Amino acid sequence: MLTLYISTSGMSSRRLDLPMPLDKIKQQMEIVHTKEQSNHPVLIYGTESQIPILRYHLQSVKLDNDATLQKLNQLAETIDGMSAAGHYHLSRSLNPEFQQSLDDVLRIAAHIKPGSLDCYEVIPGVTSDQELGKWLVEHDHLEDKVPEALRPYLDYRSIGIDYRNEHEGVFLADGYTGIRTGAMEQVLEEQGVMRLTLAMSKNTFSLSLPAGEDRLEQAKRALEIEDFSQASITAVKFSSPYLDGLLPLDTITVEDANTLALCLREMEQEDGELIKFCAVLEVEQPDTFTEAVTIAMDRDDYERVPEDMDEYGKQVLRRAGADDEVIDTIDGYMAFARLGSDSLAEDGVRRTEFGLVRRVSKPFPPGPEIGQAMM
């Protein structure tokens, strides 16, 4: 069941237990208008369900047309038809960092409802790592089949732990559930790395990025526009808090934002790439959003520099052509830290809030002296 608390002002509210026939919902809305003596739209001020995070995503949704009411009923029916695993995965799939639209919530829930668990697997009755490891081996669920003769000697618990961690699994009261092998990309796509709030006249649309052509066209239809330049971008939120304040959002466009979101998605898959991008933005200080996108696309032209000057000295030697065998041979006979420290200015290394960074193709111009603290 999905329970809504509705009001025009938030001062008082009326309870709706969905699904509910549209005529009865409208009757309750009329009662709210009469009781609160208000002509303002009826809004959702709170929810109760097996998905606590829905309260955040449905907050302030206007109940101003039949389509919205039908979608809420559809969501309630979908939730009612889910198992505990479905409730868990819907909670995990909804982004906690920025509010997703009712359409987004329905789209995500459609992948999780019974018969559509495209991304998730459920193993009933398996409630521990030991049981999970044993089930995986006995059902030949691992990449390499384990011969029968070896199975009595296996560490099932370790196998279960590794599999659960790799698939972001969890044990619920009735069994194990986790992300299917190869489905992580689809799950990440549902969550997005950036969200734009678009507005045109009285229409608004919350767009999660990166988005495909179908989703972009859906946004245009909802806003009743032919081109995104006709709409205003009223809010921008990132899944990473590091990016706040580093990008010139006054020049943002939907197209550039989608390109950047694709780059950010790639950065999330590479250790340290997002932090490096933030460091570069702090140094480069792009004047336009398009320039920031260009930096993201050319991020291989930048390199993070270790704080340890001994390690940086070795890195300088590797760039000069020395291999690890040479470096190991001279270790103990050379002051790597001094070489690293002396190379900072020549390499144009700059200190940022996100660490040390340099530009490969053309050194950054001199900045504030980094100092000797790292030697």
Name the band, by pLDDT with cuts 50, 70 and 90, for residue 98: low
The rounded Cα 174 to chain-centroid distance in angstroms is 28
Name the band, by pLDDT with cuts 50, 70 and 90, for residue 305: very high
Residue 89: pLDDT above 90?
no
Return the exposure string of 261-287: e unless at least 16 CB atoms fall within 10 Å of the residue's CB, then b: bbbbbebeeeeebbbbbbbbbbbbebe
Residue 85: pLDDT above 60?
yes
Name the band, by pLDDT with cuts 50, 70 and 90, for residue 248: very high
Residue 256: pLDDT above 50?
yes
pLDDT digits (tens, 9 = 90+) for 59-75: 888 998 998 999 999 99
Closest CA to 243 of 267, 225, 227: 267
First to last CA, the chain: 62
Distance CA 356, CA 371 (A): 12
The rounded Cα 68 to chain-centroid distance in angstroms is 26
Burial (CB < 10 A; 0-12, 13-18, 19+), residue 119, is buried
| Distance set, CA 189 to CA 159, 210, 243, 270, 317 (Å) | 28, 7, 19, 16, 41
Indicate the range of 80-84, 143-147, 165-169, 293-297 predicted with least confidence: 143-147
Closest CA to 111 of 102, 120, 122, 103: 120
- Does this model's pTM top 0.75? My answer is no
Strands (E), the chain: 2-7, 14-18, 43-48, 120-124, 170-172, 175-179, 194-200, 203-209, 232-238, 302-305, 350-352, 355-359
Helix, strand, coil: what percent of the chain each, to 5?
45, 15, 35
Residue 186: pLDDT above 90?
no
- The set of residues, in sequence order, having a beta carbon less than 8 Å from that of 79 and lying 6+ positions away, is 1, 2, 49, 50, 51, 87, 90, 109
Among residues of the chain, what percentage have pLDDT more than 70? 93
Distance CA 15, CA 29 (A): 10
pLDDT digits (tens, 9 = 90+) for 269-291: 888 999 999 999 999 999 999 99
pLDDT digits (tens, 9 = 90+) for 206-241: 788 998 888 899 889 888 899 999 999 998 988 887
